[in-house]
Structure 1
Amino acid sequence: MRKITVTAACLAFASIGPVSAADPGTKLKNAQTVDRSTLHVQVILDHLGFSPGMLDGRAGKSLTAALKGFQENRGLKVTGEIDKATLWALHPYRAWRPTRTLALTADTLAGPFTYPFPKDPQQQAKLLALGYSSPMEKLAEMFHTTPAVLVALNNPETRLEPGTMVTFPNALPLSRAYDAKLPADWRKTLNDLNVSADQPEGAKVVVDKSDEVLRVLDKDGKLVGQFQATMGSTHDPLPVGTWKIQGASYNPPFHYNPDLFWDAKDSAKAARLPPGPNGPVGVIWLDLSKPHYGIHGTPEPSTVGRAESHGCIRLSNWDAARLSLMVKPGTPAVFQE
């Protein structure tokens, strides 16, 4: 299994058009159109902590859920629609434009990248890191979007090399003044994922199976953050009850134990997988008081809220990272249906 580390020197041969997250050598076939008005609403909600999922300029259940959360927070009628009252409440934040055009740097384009990416845990365990498969996948996750959206926002001939100007959804944070007590590599991850250092303090987390969201409440019970989530499955249902967040593991390795996975092959063996954004738990693990359960990131942000998990709570890497700044050890986590 070969591992490809992409440096600035070889990035000159890549362009936005022929690069996809799944295969750096294959064209993205269905580059979508991006409705800028919808994208503008998504960007504002993302900045305010009501995650609309991918910043893609498209309506859908993730945007509907985010609108409902924002409307509840503002004391509006909860419709899940971009109605007049909601637009008026969003109006003060209109300066957060839907897109930003930025110059690529060697750091934003730096790997290591792994392609092809092995599915077998035993093969993954042999890698140094479970990194992104391509520069496009990294750039998309940095700006809370998809490679297809980057194609839609830019000239397909745009070169992926330092100094090139590229248009992105405006996920840039309001602050990068991260707590100096946090590990340096974690502060870099927060910076790379454009997670703002300024976050409200959460007193309780509520995970609701009925609407597939994780809600963060403050000490007064007010909703101050909401994230689309994947939670449980038929084989591994959501563990209903009240638990506690015990702590965070940043950029964690993953200890694969086939005994804990109903779909593991009979021949599967335990393995220690290296850390990386494309690891099974993404960039962070928030440990819960229920053994073997946690709230964590994901290697596939587009599937959040649209797939099943092995019982844990899965968020996009950027939302999981943001949540970690809102909670602390001992924060209760209520799981309900």
Structure 2
Amino acid sequence: MNFLIYYFLILAEFCRAGLPRTKSKVLHIGATFPISGKEGWQGGQACQPAVRLAFSDVNSRSDILRNYELKLHWNDSECEPGLGATVMYDLLYNDPTKVLLLAGCSTVSTTIAESAKMWNLLVVSFGGSSPALSDRARFPTLFRTHPSATVHNPTRVKLIQMFGWSRIAILHHTQEVFTSTITDLESKCREVGIEIIARQSFMQEATDAVRNLRRQDARIIVGLFYVAAARKVLCEVYKQGLYGKQHVWFFIGWYEDNWFEVNLEAEGIQCTKEEMRMAAEGHFTTEALNWNQDKQRTISGMTVDDFRRRLHLALKNSGYDIDHGRYPEGYQEAPLAYDAVWATAL
């Protein structure tokens, strides 16, 4: 009899373990995604679906955040610091209480993280590459899955050395994400004897800055700016003749592959696709490998190919023509957004 009682107790425990657990408590997470803006990095287009996948995957696991469910509350920041601050305050001052914030582009991540420390509120950035965000005194509650933009500078310097170039010029937007990256690049160039003959910056229009580079006979030029500004720069490069065999441009690697051919009419670019192609011919880019290169299963239970298939399905359902290679902005950073949720949950 005792054996039967013991047997049924064990059986009951196994049955109970096999039943889906009801998560009785909710953890509310706030988020800002840059999606529909005209300037800056609109990587929320791909990162928001990736975050939704991560929320679903974490909530389906009984061994993670036992008895807790994650719920996402978000809005579009358009990669505008002012709008991002408004979204943040709306999330914080409206019920339910948010325990953490996710943030996208560098400018908005900076604004949110500087404010969030007043509440001792954690911020996890999936798209903030600004080197300034590594300042723990300034951003004590910020963490990020996106690497600092300075990781590209050693590669840029090595490429410049490999081709035997000793004099370069720099063109950049005035936002902190780019100025802090340039400060690091200048330091690394000085260490190896590379001379910076010109440093031009711009806020809105790059016409005068590009014209000044031509006057200073710049040949090897490192450009740091968001993709919409890059199209303006490239069109001006064509007009000023700063392309061809006598010139080499370095651009940021996370632009879309056909960045110099799209949105020309919508953004008022006064160059044709063919002219943009001519100006872009032969340029260099550097980018980190955000997608794992092996086939190992991660803690999510997926390989990178599994994640890619699921993300593609989510993007197709959102109206993106993935089958013809038309990926939304932020596609390369989507794994970082997915990982940000898992890092938070773990």
Q: TM-score range by the shorter chain?
A: under 0.3
The normalised TM-score by structure 1 is 0.22
* Structure with the greater alpha carbon radius of gyration: 2
